[in-house]
Structure 1
Amino acid sequence: MELHKISNGHHDYVPVEDGFEPEQEEFLPHKDDGLNKSQFKDFEGKTSFGMSVFNLSNAIMGSGILGLSYAMSNTGIIVFVILLTCIAVLSSYSVHLLLKSAGVVGIRAYEQLGKRAFGQPGKILAAVVITMHNIGAMSSYLFIVKYELPLVIQTFLGKHSNTGEWFLNGNYLIIVVTICIIFPLALMKQLGYLGYTSGFSLTCMVFFLGSVIYKKFNIPCPFEEFGNSSINATLEADCEGKFITINQQTAYTVPILAFAFVCHPEVLPIYTELRNPTKRRMQSVANTSILGMFVMYLLTAIFGYLTFYGNVESELLHTYSKVDPMDTLILCVRLAVLVAVTLTVPVVLFPIRRALLQLLFPEKPFHWARHITIAVCLLIVVNILVISVPNIRDIFGIIGATSAPSLIFILPGLFYIRIVPTEDEPMNSRPKIQAACFTAVGFIFMIMSLTFIALDWINGENRSGGGH
């Protein structure tokens, strides 16, 4: 999710060298004992509790929020609430495992925890998973541009339907936006100032939530067809929320929810910036942020679903245009979301490039050729992915079924098992057993989700998504 997973300065970490003495409760000692032994002294924590909550909330908030109503329509209200609650609780426990592991070895970077746990292969694995997830996030943002920008232009031109001009073709528009806006920003050496877009992103999503709630009481059901709308006139019986629904699209629910709660690569950088940083204080920051996003996600899903019921699409904003493409309020929401996601893409690209440089050229100084080449290659890959994939649900599904379980469940559990000394917690101790079970749950979620998604593709069922 941030829109996606950004906060001002969160990725500007410096790898920690081996040899630091293990810390206990405090990750960043905030009092000088006179011996000048403060770890990461140059990053002395100065961020307040409230601002840390705001930053982590931005890290959690993502484009996944646009798919939650669709997820509810394919599970029913009761099943969705249970799954959302479980994912939120498990995300909080996952943060606990990360903080405990980081507290043992004094490391504040996800990749460095991987290196401490499994050596260089662990660092590579963590970097690859984070890269996959961020590429998925970039793709989801450009997918929003692909399907929302043509509708915005269409509305400004007073057209009720797409008449086929190139500037109403989403595939052309994402290329134009990438070249004219995203690429120049991605070339900058420092993107710190773009961290301010995280505040705009969160404000945008609050505006989005308010609009969803408002429109619930202003869009009548049964629906009436509007022009060439693909939302068909419905019967009164179709305007009742279902408490339990199971179908083949239900397989996408857990990945969509997991995608919406990933913030774990940003937890440790936020931890280091926290004033008076203790594990308990940072856990409170995480719990508060996750609870806030849980409430926001739940309200968005419920009111979006109870507006469109079975007609809700995998990208909620796109659904509103099927009722009234000229709606001024939804046009404002679209514009806000489009600006936010466009400015977020280069920020999400930045840590991917940094991870690739560390893996491929760890000893090389900064060079413009490498800097530009990696940005160009990443943007080309993401554009091809967005043009080729017909549905944003597929991006949420695949990334949510692979990188999200890895970042939330599998890697934190494995790090905890490997890093926490057996002298402190033997393998048969309750915390280690819980961590092992937590990791196993991640593998089960990943395998089940990928299996059901593959079966859905093989069966070639009709999809009601943003691309149709």
Structure 2
Amino acid sequence: MVKKNLDPSNSSLNMDQLRASLSALIPDPKQSSNFAATLNFTNCVLGAGIIGTGGAIASSGFTISIFTLVLCALLTRISLDMIIRLGDTRNGANFEKLGELAFGNLGKKIVGGAKFLYSFGCCCAYIVVIRKNLGSGLINISSCSTSLCKSVFNDEVFCTIVCLTLVLPLSLKRNLDSLSRFSFISVCCVVLIASIVFSEFLDRDPLTYSDNTLYFEVRSGYISSLGTFVFAFVSQHTHNGIYSSMKNQTPKDWEQVSLYSITIACTVTVLTGSFAYLTFGLETTSDLFTVYHESVQVDLAEILLSFTMIFTFPMPFYTCRALVGEWFFSVQEVGGGEFEVEDMEEALLKAEGGGEEEEVEEAKLSNFQWTVTSLGLFAVSLTIALTAPNLGAVLDFVGCASGSAIAFILPAAIFVKLENHWTPKVVVMAIVGAFVGIVGTGFAVANIIFPSD
């Protein structure tokens, strides 16, 4: 750091001038109100899990599934708030930096790797949802049966067109706050989808299973479905970006955002999964709308779901791009194109430093790096999604293998290492995370290799 050589009489004036000058070089990244941040974060949490949950409930059992969903939501919120509080007491350290403070460079790499794997898995899952629903929904609602319509709205072809014309442009944006209006649309779409699932439940005859079988049976697919339950709420891969975009970056403000976002996500996910299961019972699948009979309502739900995925995709994609930028270009992006100066005082002193002319370097990817990284990641995720067998397999594996790590295991380990003590909440997080990560992943992989009927 450059030493201070300021005359006390004009120190305040000089610092004010330097701050004003530096603001031209370093624009303030704190733009989102708490409401906008809540919309963005709710959009991050509400992903493909909203339709995969019904199939997971059918494989697991009703009561045990609802309990697990609520538990995962509660533990996820505790974990999110814990990471923000730990970072706030350590100069605003993000998740990766906390891993480095706790376990050195290896800890940073493990956190970054887990975040990347989970974020990339989300990107693939969202495109799978678009591929499975948008083309079929549009062709059914338009009642177009010509060979041209069938060719244009082919799942893979139409998904590729939509991803290139809508998803990619949104993913190239640098500012998260600019997506808040799309997040609002996405959240509204999810609410409408939940309403359609509920209306379909009311329109169908009640299931004929006995009460014990329908509500209280614990089925053999429970362990392998844990990944889907975890996947429904894991958002530690995006929350630092959302937090860095807030005007008021305090743990108290963040806790309001996390409370409202997780509560909305839990309510919508539980209701959608429950009513889907109570409509179809054991026939409910992870690709939910494939089990419904064709109707305008169902076709509309497929279209709305696809648009939700389109507007949600940029959030985890930002995280993937930021991590790749850090690994390959030694640049740390914050919140999708926003950059941070870890020590503003140090930057100001460098700017005022006597004869040493040191430029304040903007910690962001160049336009070329941004574009190349984005196109590369997008091409790989699109290719994988177009060949993935089904959504359930993706959700179970991603949720167990990487979701449990970034949501429960790593936050618990970092807390214990930095704070040097255990709490009951941390113990529960560690136990749940270890069980899901080890046992759940094993069952998820077994189901992929040896799929059951």
**TM score, norm. by length of structure 1:** 0.75
Q: Secondary structure of 1:249's partner?
A: coil
| 2:22 equivalent in structure 1 | none
Q: Distance in 2 between matches of 1:97 and 1:180?
A: 39
Q: Contact 2:225/2:444 (CA < 8 Å) preserved in 1? A: no
Matches within 5 A, 1:42-61: 42=28, 47-48=33-34, 52-61=37-46
| 2:335 equivalent in structure 1 | none
Task: Give deviations 1:106-154, integer Å, cap 9, x for gaps.
Answer: 2252222223223333222222222212211111111111111231233
Task: Give deviations 1:182-201, integer Å, cap 9, x for gaps.
Answer: 33444455565234211111
Q: Distance in 2 between matches of 1:244 and 1:281?
A: 39
Q: Secondary structure of 1:124's partner?
A: helix
Q: Contact 2:31/2:246 (CA < 8 Å) preserved in 1? A: yes
Q: Distance in 1 between matches of 2:249 and 2:160?
A: 43
Q: Distance in 1 between matches of 2:98 and 2:209?
A: 53
Q: Distance in 2 between matches of 1:106 and 1:366?
A: 23
Q: Secondary structure of 1:305's partner?
A: helix
Residue 250 of structure 2 is aligned to residue 251 of structure 1: no
Residue 134 of structure 2 is aligned to residue 126 of structure 1: no
| 1:80 equivalent in structure 2 | 65
Q: Secondary structure of 1:264's partner?
A: coil
Q: Distance in 2 between matches of 1:330 and 1:281?
A: 38
Q: Distance in 1 between matches of 2:330 and 2:418?
A: 24
CA 1:213–1:118 in structure 2 vs 1: closer, same or farther (change >3 Å)? same
Q: Distance in 1 between matches of 2:152 and 2:212?
A: 39
Most deviating of 377-386 and 167-176: 167-176
Q: 1:62 aligns with which of 19, 30, 47?
A: 47
Matches within 5 A, 1:296-335: 296-320=268-292, 323=293, 325=294, 327-335=295-303
Most deviating of 278-287 and 347-356: 278-287
Task: Give deviations 1:237-256, integer Å, cap 9, x for gaps.
Answer: 59996123444432332211
Task: Give deviations 1:52-107, integer Å, cap 9, x for gaps.
Answer: 54443333222211111111112222111221222122123213421331132022
| 2:402 equivalent in structure 1 | 403
Query: Structure 2: 5+ residue runs without aligned partners?
Result: 2-18, 20-25, 332-362
Query: Could you tell me which amino acid in structure 2 is paired with residue 403 of structure 1?
Result: S
Q: Distance in 2 between matches of 1:381 and 1:249?
A: 31
Q: Which has the higher helix share?
A: 2
Task: Give deviations 1:306-331, integer Å, cap 9, x for gaps.
Answer: 111111111223322xx1x2x22222
Shift of the alpha carbon at 1:260?
A: 0.8
Matches within 5 A, 1:373-452: 373-420=372-419, 427=420, 429-431=421-423, 435=426, 438-452=429-443
Q: Distance in 1 between matches of 2:367 and 2:94?
A: 25
**Max Rg structure:** 2
Number of residue pairs aligned between Structure 1 and Structure 2? 399
Q: Contact 2:63/2:215 (CA < 8 Å) preserved in 1? A: yes
Q: Contact 1:221/1:239 (CA < 8 Å) preserved in 2? A: no
Query: Structure 1: 5+ residue runs without aligned partners?
Result: 1-16, 18-35, 223-235, 421-426, 463-468
Shift of the alpha carbon at 1:269?
A: 4.6
Q: 2:323 aligns with which of 344, 352, 355?
A: 355
Q: Distance in 1 between matches of 2:132 and 2:286?
A: 12
Q: Secondary structure of 1:135's partner?
A: helix
Q: Secondary structure of 2:222's partner?
A: helix
**TM score, norm. by length of structure 2:** 0.78
CA 1:399–1:458 in structure 2 vs 1: closer, same or farther (change >3 Å)? closer
Matches within 5 A, 1:7-406: 42=28, 47-48=33-34, 52-158=37-143, 165-190=150-175, 192-220=177-205, 236-237=208-209, 242-271=214-243, 278-320=250-292, 323=293, 325=294, 327-362=295-330, 366-406=365-405
Q: Secondary structure of 1:118's partner?
A: helix
Q: Contact 2:397/2:445 (CA < 8 Å) preserved in 1? A: no
Shift of the alpha carbon at 1:395?
A: 0.8
Query: Could you tell me which amino acid in structure 1 is paired with residue 233 of structure 2?
Result: F
CA 1:395–1:162 in structure 2 vs 1: closer, same or farther (change >3 Å)? farther
